[in-house]
Amino acid sequence: MTANDTITGPLRSPRNLAANVAGSIHDDTTATSLGFRGGTVAGSIHMDQFPPLLLEAFGEGWFETGSLSLYFRHATTDGEPVQAFLERPNRGEPDAQVRAWATTGDDILVTEGTASVGKPAVASALHSRDLRPVEPGELRILSAMKPGLGLGDYRLTVDTERQYSAIRQGAMTEPLDWYTSVSPWGGPIASPSAVVGLLYTRLLAEAKDSMGAHVGLFGAIEVRFRHGPVFLDRSYRVTGEVAALSQTPKTEVLWFDSRAVDSNDNVVAQMRMMVRQMKQSSPLYGDTAAPR
């Protein structure tokens, strides 16, 4: 692939915005005890680095019918340089899907997957992935979960203050003007990380109670707009359900799907997320979990 085939973003320094959340994977002490180099930057933060590239590739339509589907390969720490890349689509193709990825300044692959607009003929990176399902009875942290289990039905709005705060602090790598003021669709819209927050935070809040004490981290996220964008000043009906359960020697894995529906019953945005539960962090495993 030549330089002309690739849209290259600038080298940025994503911030660990949850570094003060003690006991989480973002906390230095907890993360290093589990074998990480330090508190990790949430995968959703890396997604905010892609919109300028997506707009160059697909135009404003990406916020209406686009997707960004990423599997996270390498956990970065606060301020570690990261650069985003996008394969350039064929000019004028209305239903296009291309490769998307990001690396550290040392060319370590941070994340990889696909980006699209419209209705491509092929599945996205996460929807084409083998989820390697296992029986819930094989799991300990996720023993109360099962495929198809509903995760709630809520009326929610985007955490506007969190988005504004990240921008005010200079902590958002690519703060589009549309996130705080007039956009082509009217009012301000949500960044990818804010959409993730809308489709994740409340749905898993109660489910986490059944998992007991443990440390989790994002393993993969796909955000897809159907009738986008997602606005900051509107409430949405948010629902979700477990898609699959899996495991590795070091983690238990939860895949779930969620969506935001507007007042006209349009599915505005959808998400597929994979969350890893670290076995080593759970008392349910004692000393039996493989070290990282």
Q: Nearest to residue 85, comparing CAs of 177, 12, 15, 190?
A: 12
How many Cβ atoms are within 10 Å of 191's Cβ, its own excluded?
A: 28
Q: How many CB atoms lie within 10 A of CB 288?
A: 9
Determine the pLDDT at residue 21.
Answer: 81
Strand, coil or helix: what is 211? helix
Token duo for residue 226: 């159907």
Tokens 């996205």, residue located: 124
C-alpha radius of gyration, the chain, whole number: 18
Contact 64, 230 (CB under 8 A): no
In 3D, which of 206, 196, 212 has the Cα closest to residue 252? Answer: 212
Q: How far apart, in Å, are the Cα atoms of 62 and each of 11, 66, 79, 87, 276?
A: 22, 4, 28, 15, 28
Say if residue 48's pLDDT is above 80. yes
Structure tokens at 118: 């419209």
**In the chain, domain spans:** 3-118+136-281
pLDDT at residue number 20: 83
pLDDT at 209: 83
pLDDT at site 54: 98
Q: What does the pLDDT read at residue 3? A: 56
Q: 14-18, 62-66, 154-158, 199-203 — which is least confidently predicted?
A: 14-18
- Helices (H) then strands (E): counts for the chain: 7, 10
Average pLDDT over residues 214-243: 97
Is residue 235's pLDDT more than 80? yes
SS3 label, residue 40: strand
| pLDDT of 292 higher than 50 | no
Instruction: Answer whether residue 270 shows pLDDT above 80.
Output: yes
Quote the pTM value.
0.94
Place 70 in a pLDDT band, splitting at 50, 70 and 90: very high
Taking 60 as the threshold, does the pLDDT of residue 289 lie above it?
A: no
How many of the other CB atoms lie within 10 Å of CB of 252?
A: 28
CB-based burial label for 131 (10 Å; 0-12, 13-18, 19+)? middle
Which two three-digit tokens encode residue 90? Answer: 């064929």
Q: Is the pLDDT of residue 291 over 50?
A: no
Mean pLDDT for the chain overall: 93
Q: Read off the pLDDT band of 22 (50, 70, 90).
A: confident
Q: H-helix or E-strand containing 31?
A: helix 28-33
CATH superfamily for 3-118+136-281 is Hotdog Thioesterase (3.10.129.10)
Model confidence over 254-266: pLDDT tens digits?
999 999 999 999 9
